[in-house]
Amino acid sequence: MLEAHNITFGYQGAEPLFRDFNLTVKRGERVALSAPSGFGKTTICRILAGYLRPTAGQVLMGGAPLRVRGACPVQLVMQHPELAVDPRSRMSDVLAEAGPADDALLDRLGIAHAWLSRYPHELSGGELQRFCIARALIADPRFLIADEMTTMLDALTQASIWHALLDEADRRNLGIVFVSHSPALTSRIATRVVNLESR
């Protein structure tokens, strides 16, 4: 179980965005976070994946704080894949940051072998996002946080990427927390919608 327990967070010099925020997500669940723009969805995603430290409260997985060393069991996939990879690394090295790549996984995610020797700028946004998802999965997480992961992609690519990820989530009993501004996508994917405004 992934838990946000009484989380309070504000950026430096600003009022807290939220106080005593609580969320519990079980493995196998697919939880959509919903709130108006600027409410703090991305901030919560970053806190859940251990990228930001809350001012108060804790993120717990299986009852224990997220580990600081080694691969985090909560992996984050962001909206802009080009900002999530080292532009000077070949894609094979980007994947190697998380561990050895499994060819079958890359096939299921629609990653062509020929792309492995390319640099990030030699791939399309959708191709690059497939690599970011692969890297997150190679880290063998229990939970994946997808923050507007396919927002910038066309509908076909969006559907193809989510299809591959949901298939992978089923195989691994992965819990997913996601943010999307598309009601259609949310209703197709979410097993539960959490409205942050009502918290």
d(CA 14, CA 16): 6
- Helix segments in 20-102, DSSP class H: 41-48, 91-96
Q: Is 43 in the site for ligand ATP (CB under 6 A)?
A: yes
What's the CA gap between 147 and 40, in Å, rounded? 11
φ, ψ for residue 2 (rounded to 5)? Answer: -105, 130
Count, in order, helices (H) and strands (E) of the chain: 6, 9
Q: Does 89 bind ligand ATP (CB under 6 A)?
A: no
Q: How many residues bind ligand ATP (CB under 6 A)?
A: 10
Residues in the chain: 199
Q: How many CB atoms lie within 10 A of CB 46?
A: 18
Interacting residue with ligand ATP among 1, 39, 105, 110 (CB under 6 A): 39
**SS percent in the chain: helix, strand, coil, step 5:** 35, 25, 40
Strand order in the sheet with 56-61: 18-25, 2-9, 56-61, 64-65
Nearer to ligand ATP, 137 or 146 (CB): 146
- Pick the binder of ligand ATP from 40, 57, 81, 141 (CB under 6 A): 40
- Told to check if 17 binds ligand ATP by CB under 6 A, we report yes
Nearer residue to ligand ATP within complex by CB, 11 or 167: 11
Under the binding rule (CB under 6 A), the answer on residue 180 touching ligand ATP is no
Candidates 32-40, 68-76, 90-98, 130-138; binding stretch for ligand ATP (CB under 6 A): 32-40
Nearer to ligand ATP, 67 or 181 (CB): 181
Angle at 43 between CA 157 and CA 45, to 5 degrees: 50
- Enter the tokens of residue 77: 């996939």
54 interacts with ligand ATP by CB under 6 A: no
Report, in Å, the least distance between residue 55 CB and ligand ATP: 13
CB of 63 to ligand ATP, least distance (A): 27
Under rule CB under 6 A, residue 41 binds ligand ATP: yes
* Among 37, 68, 114, 156, interactor with ligand ATP by CB under 6 A: 37
Residues that bind ligand ATP (CB under 6 A): 11, 17, 35, 37-43
